[in-house]
Amino acid sequence: MADVTTASTFEAEALPHLDSLYRMALRLSGDPMQAEDLVQETMLKAHRAWGQYKPGTNARAWLLTILRNTFINEYRRRKREPIPVDLEAVEPYAIYRDVEQLDPEGNFFAQIVDARVLDAIDRLPPDFREVLALSDMESLSYAEIAEALEIPVGTVKSRLFRARRQLQKELYDHAVEMGYIRPRAADA
């Protein structure tokens, strides 16, 4: 079953997604050593399962699904997960109304250093973090995310909305603290 052609097709299709896999592994595990193991294990599993990949579909989504399943089955129990709050019940705060006078286009976002943004993403609740990462970092569609996470598209959308709002709030608070943007006059 394995031959040189299959192997080279796999490498040609899968290797370009190593950056995505590594990023997602970091988002999920929060640990570079574990991310490294997770990426390697994902690639070996994907290689063995390559016959199940449907050509023409999104290889990145397929690989990220394997990565996430591997993480859940083999890695997650090693780390204590925070107790989930009823995330869907929290009304997301819209920071747009705080900035629409001073910086309606949100230019302050661009001043925040990469590491600080990634750190804020990694501090989102896990359910929000993975949806945001799959959508906004790895460009998966709603349908691809729903399939990868085995949740309805409506849940994907609601988590993504809340994840973005929460991240915006975190980044806005940071930007105010750093003086990248003045707080809204009413709050000053």
Rounded to a whole number of angstroms, the distance between the first and last alpha carbons of the chain is 68
User: Count of residues for the chain?
Assistant: 188
In angstroms, rounded to a whole number, what is the distance separating the alpha carbons of residues 18 and 12? 11
Residue of 28, 64, 124, 167 that binds another protein (CB under 8 A): 167
Nearest of 2, 42, 45, 48 to residue 18 by alpha carbon: 42
Q: How far is the CB of 131 from another protein (least distance, A)?
A: 12
Q: How far is the CB of 114 from another protein (least distance, A)?
A: 5
Site track for another protein across 23-42, x = CB under 8 A: x--x---------x--xx--
Residue of 13, 31, 122, 136 that binds another protein (CB under 8 A): 136
Q: How far is the CB of 80 from another protein (least distance, A)?
A: 25
Nearest of 16, 84, 14 to residue 48 by alpha carbon: 14
Q: How far is the CB of 138 from another protein (least distance, A)?
A: 7
85: exposed, middle or buried (C-beta count within 10 Å: 0-12, 13-18, 19+)?
exposed
Site track for another protein across 39-78, x = CB under 8 A: xx--xx--xx------------------------------
What does each C-alpha distance from 95 to 126, 149, 160 come to in angstroms?
22, 28, 16
Q: Which of 148, 167 has the CB closer to another protein?
A: 167
Q: Which of 35, 65 has the CB closer to another protein?
A: 35
Residue pair 57/36 in contact (Cβ under 8 Å)? The answer is no
Q: Write down the residue that tokens 């009304």 correspond to.
A: 91
The DSSP secondary-structure symbol of 29 reads: H
Q: How far is the CB of 167 from another protein (least distance, A)?
A: 7
Give me the residues that bind another protein (CB under 8 A), please. Answer: 2-4, 7, 10-11, 15, 18-19, 21-23, 26, 36, 39-40, 43-44, 47-48, 96, 99-100, 104-107, 109-110, 112, 114, 117-118, 121, 132-133, 135-139, 141-142, 157, 160-161, 164, 167-168
